[in-house]
A and B are shown apart, each in its own frame.
Chain A
Amino acid sequence: MSKKLKIGIISLTSCEGCQIAILSLGEKLLKLKDKVEFLEFRYLEDQPWPEHFDVAFIEGSPITKEQLKTLKEARKRADKLIVLGNCAALGGVHEIKNYKDKEKIQRYVYKHKKGIANPEIKEIDNFVKVDFTIPGCPINPEEFLMVLKQLIKGEEPKIRQIFVCGECPLQGTKNCFLLQKKVCFGPWTLGGCGAPCPKNGLLCLACRGFKKNVNLDVMIKSLSRFVPEKELKEKLEIFGLRDELFRYENNLRTKIN
């Protein structure tokens, strides 16, 4: 029998929905038990960490100091580090506080702030090198399974590079938001999710991140015909994309200058 792929699924602070998405694979996941060894996955085991992972998957944000240590330790022990989901890849909903007075928000929630970490929320690639991203809030479990199978075969992980807007009509969506002159980020967002939001009457909020090399300037110009730019940016805060837009605008400015 060939060597099993040694993996770890490591969770920092998040809703843990990406881990639950993995568990939802049920029998499909169990079928791989001769090929993959889950050395760390707290929902499945209660054992100490191994010395080495072939692949470490990271879910969530390092909010406490201890979690930052965990993240760095995972990087040290892993050949490959893959981030799972919106929090790890783009900051998650809790990144909203970065755009406001985070001290004030903390005071609103807690009477005693002593001992409660309140850092600026940053994506995982600000702390350690990231080899690959499985996007989404939550991740698409089938996409995770596909990547896992690629890794078992020793291939470099790869996901489809399509737009949400490309998938959406194939899902039988009848009421396109844009045709109704309403906001939807689908035309600029990386697909692969099956467009579960616009299909069900919720605008795409780009939880999977913008597709590479899209023109965000055009996005803002087109969508601000429907709602004010300020409101667009506020919507992009939900899944940690406002800073991506900011970075894009900065790059654009540097190029022009």
Chain B
Amino acid sequence: MKIVIDHIAKIEGHMGFVGHILKGNVAKAKLEIKEGARLIGGIIIGRNIEDAPLITSRICGVCPVVHNICSLKALENALKIEVSEEVKILRKLLLAGQILQSHSLHLFFLSLPDFFKLDHDIKFVEKFREEAKKANQIRNFSDKLVEAIGGRAIHPTSTKIGGFGRIPNKERLQKLLKESKKVLKNAKDLAKIFQNLNYPKFERKTEFISLSDKKEYAYYEGKINASDAKPIPIKKFLPKIKEIQTPFDVVKRAKYRGRSYMVGALARINNNRDQLNPEAQKLAQESFEEKICYNTFFNIFAQAIEVVHFIEEIQKLLDCYLSKNFKEKEILAPNKILLKTGYGIGVCEAPRGTLFHIYWITKSGKISGCNIITPTAQFLDNLEKDLRAFLPDLKKMKEKERKRKIKMLIRAYDPCISCATH
């Protein structure tokens, strides 16, 4: 039996799937990437360092902010620049806003209609008018937050090496803090829907990797947490990752000690569940019985929990920022940067998982080497393995239903092929 899905809609970027079941055994389960290679990691070589955050933000229109900030962090790491607490808070707000932007899009418009067998969101929205409104309010809130701090909802303009190009308007942030109460209520209502969805029964043991930090549910900084060891510093972790590219594949797939692994919302919740904010914590405790959830369909629900968590996080951060009497110079980027030869790693939790930007820079302020390891490039092999394990369950189904289930699992991962290829 051959299963071919030419083009999977409702994911970011272009990808297809081919599966073969021969005499009851899965002979093939392959994701075929159909994205053009933009060679972003190559085109920035030789360019000025300040071009890197601008160009790499264009890797992805769904998560440009996190590429931008990760790139800045890598450059600052190379230049040994420490940013102020205020800058950190603002960047965290941007990242939290970014996760909301991305998760709310994926949850309500890309994944949820699958569960109701609706193939067009307009039909879906007509059926779930109130829910769609709430989802749009969350998206709108996160867009406004990212715009207020980053200068624009997509592709930020105010973020710079060492700080910001402009101080965000306090009244605007106050208004957003006020609005966040209603947005949090919406998020809790919507999380209930995801809590009660009928997720396909499926389980396969795998490795979950994410940032972890003693202080908080990590997303801006931390150590790397894999299940087989205590959290380790990024520098020690990177050598354990190997990117493997095979001919005809535009994605360099990452393996951890030779094995496939999972990153993203489910990995973060599996690794750092105890550190979720109170409302999100409640949802997680009600729903997950085991310490680790191995059903990757639950990545969808994990995202819904994170939507609640990050709205709570935004409230905390805004409260903290607005109560501070900061000096402008703590936030504004320095005019002059002391250039030096260096190597720097930036790491953040992107909506889809841990993101790495790695640069080598020259004394004259040029990029001389670059490597970007995106979440999707890390989990693609794990997704393929899941599909291989999932296919036998689908043998007896009608073709249409079988394809629907395959697409559901792929979408549960929320893959971003623009990122994976870049």
What is the interface of chain A, defined by CB distance below 8 A to chain B? Answer: 11-21, 23-24, 26-27, 30, 33, 38, 42-47, 61-64, 66-67, 92-94, 96-97, 100, 102, 105-106, 108-112, 114-118, 137-138, 196-197, 199-202, 205, 234, 238
Across the interface, do B62 and A201 meet the contact criterion of CB distance under 8 Å?
no
Q: Give the interface segment out of B193-201, B241-249, B322-330.
A: B241-249
B27 lies within 8 A of chain A by Cβ: no
Binds A, one of B119-127, B343-351, B375-383, B388-396: B119-127
**What would be 8 A-B contacts, judged by CB atoms less than 8 Å apart?**
A13-B14, A24-B153, A63-B36, A63-B37, A96-B47, A105-B39, A105-B45, A200-B152
A223–B121 alpha-carbon span in the complex (Å): 48
Q: Establish whether residues A46 and B119, one from each chain, have CB atoms under 8 Å apart when the complex forms.
A: yes
Taking CB atoms, residues of chain A closer than 8 Å to B39 are: 94, 97, 102, 105-106, 109, 118
- Cβ of B278 under 8 Å from chain A: no
Residues on B with beta carbons closer than 8 Å to the beta carbon of A61: 36
Asked if A38 meets B122 with Cβ closer than 8 Å, knowing A23-B105, A105-B39, the reply is yes
Whether A97 contacts B43 in the complex (CB less than 8 A), given A15-B418, A47-B119, A201-B166, comes out as yes
Inter-chain contacts of B333 with A (CB < 8 A): 201
Closest-CB distance, B51 to chain A (whole angstroms): 6
Bound Cα distance from A44 to B60, whole angstroms: 18
Contact A44 B36 (CB under 8 A): no
Could you tell me if B10 and A43 are in contact, using CB atoms closer than 8 angstroms?
A: yes
How many whole Å from A200's CB to the nearest CB in chain B?
Answer: 4
Cα–Cα distance between A23 and B246 once the two chains are bound (Å): 35
Are B110 and A112 touching (Cβ within 8 A)? Answer: no
- The reply to whether the CB of B13 lies closer than 8 angstroms to some CB of chain A is yes
- B121, B143, B247: the one within 8 Å of A24 (CB): B143
Any chain A CB within 8 A of the CB of B165?
A: yes
Supposing A108-B41, A137-B58, A201-B333 touch, asked if A13 and B36 sit within 8 A by C-beta, the answer is yes
Write the chain B residue with the least CB distance to A63.
Answer: B36
Q: How far is the CB of B11 from chain A (nearest CB, A)?
A: 8
Query: Apart from A17-B155, A24-B143, A93-B43, what 4 extra A-B contacts exist at CB < 8 Å?
Result: A17-B62, A45-B9, A109-B42, A200-B152
- Which residues of the partner chain A approach B157 to less than 8 Å between Cβ atoms? 196-197, 199-202
Cβ-closest chain B residue relative to A40: B9
Interface-lining segment among B78-86, B133-141, B226-234: B133-141
State whether B166 touches A199 (Cβ < 8 A). yes
Determine if B164 is an interface residue (Cβ-Cβ < 8 Å). Answer: yes
CA–CA, A108 and B119, complex, Å: 41
Q: Are B61 and A96 in contact (CB under 8 A)?
A: no
**Residue of chain B at shortest CB distance from A13:** B36
Residues from chain B with Cβ under 8 Å of A94 in the complex: 38-40, 43
CA distance A209 to B92 in the complex (A): 33
Contact between chains at A45 and B61 (CB < 8 Å): no
**B contacts, CB < 8 Å to A:** 9-10, 12-14, 34-48, 51, 54-55, 58-62, 64, 105, 109-110, 119-122, 125, 132-133, 136, 139-140, 143, 151-155, 157-158, 160, 164-166, 245-250, 252, 333, 407, 418
Chain B residue numbers with a CB within 8 Å of A97 are 39, 42-43
CB–CB A16/B109 < 8 A: no
Please, how many angstroms separate the alpha-carbon atoms of A138 and B157 in the complex?
12
Inter-subunit contact B40/A46 (CB<8 Å) = no
Whether B10 lies near A42 (C-beta < 8 A) is yes
Tell me the number of A-to-B contacts counted with CB atoms below 8 Å. 190
| Contact (Cβ within 8 A) B37 A30 | no
CA distance A141 to B152 in the complex (A): 11
Report the bound CA distance from A43 to B411 in whole Å: 12
- Expressed in whole angstroms, the Cα–Cα distance for A111 and B10 within the complex equals 30
Cβ of B109 and Cβ of A106 under 8 Å apart? Answer: no
Distance (Å) between the CB of A171 and the closest chain B CB?
11
- Cross-chain contact B37 with A112 (CB below 8 angstroms): no
Q: Are A44 and B121 in contact (CB under 8 A)?
A: yes
B51 and A238 contact, CB distance less than 8 A: yes
In the bound complex, do residue A66 and residue B34 qualify as a contact, i.e. CB atoms below 8 Å apart?
yes
Given contacts A15-B60, A20-B105, A27-B133, contact A115 B247 (CB under 8 A): yes
A43 x B109 contact (CB < 8 A): yes
B165 touches A110 (CB 8 A): no
- A112, B246: Cβ atoms under 8 Å? yes
Q: Choose one: A13, A27, A137; the contact of B155 (CB below 8 Å).
A: A137
Chain A residues positioned under 8 Å from B252 (CB to CB): 110
- Compute how far the CA of A20 lies from the CA of B24 in the bound complex, rounded to whole angstroms: 41
- B43 surroundings in chain A (CB, below 8 A): 93-94, 96-97, 100, 105
A110 to B39 alpha-carbon distance, docked (Å)? 9
In angstroms, how far is the closest chain A Cβ from the Cβ of B155?
Answer: 6
Does A93 lie within 8 Å of B38, measured CB to CB? Answer: yes
- Asked if A93 and B55 sit within 8 Å, CB to CB, the answer is yes
Q: Per a CB cutoff under 8 Å, which of A16, A63, A200 touches B165?
A: A200
Given contacts A93-B38, A116-B37, contact A200 B151 (CB under 8 A): yes
Whether the pair B45, A16 counts as a contact (CB closer than 8 A) is: no
Give the residues in chain A near B55, CB-CB below 8 Å.
93, 96, 238
Q: For B139, list chain A residues within 8 Å (CB).
A: 23-24, 26
Q: A16 with B42: in contact, given A43-B10, A110-B245, A202-B158 (CB under 8 Å)? A: no
Among A97, A196, A200, max chain B CB count under 10 A is at A200
List 3 A-B pairs, minimum CB-CB distance, nearest first.
Answer: A201-B165, A63-B36, A17-B61
- Kindly identify which residue among A44, A66, A93 contacts B58, using a CB–CB cutoff of 8 Å: A93
- A96 CA to B56 CA, complexed, in Å: 13
Closest Cβ–Cβ distance, residue A124 to chain B (whole Å)? 14
CA distance A108 to B347 in the complex (A): 22
When distances are taken between beta carbons in the complex, the residues of chain B under 8 Å from A18 are 61
Q: Across the interface, name the chain B residue whose C-beta is closest to A60.
A: B36
User: Is there an interface contact between B109 and A44, defined as CB atoms closer than 8 Å?
Assistant: yes
* B60 vs chain A, min Cβ distance (A): 5
Q: Most chain-A Cβ atoms within 10 A of its Cβ — which of B13, B39, B41?
A: B39
B38 near A33 with CB under 8 A, answer no
Closest CB in chain A relative to B409 CB, distance in Å: 15
A196 close to B37 (CB less than 8 A): no
Cα distance A116–B42 when bound, in Å?
Answer: 14
Residues in A whose Cβ lies below 8 Å from that of B46:
100
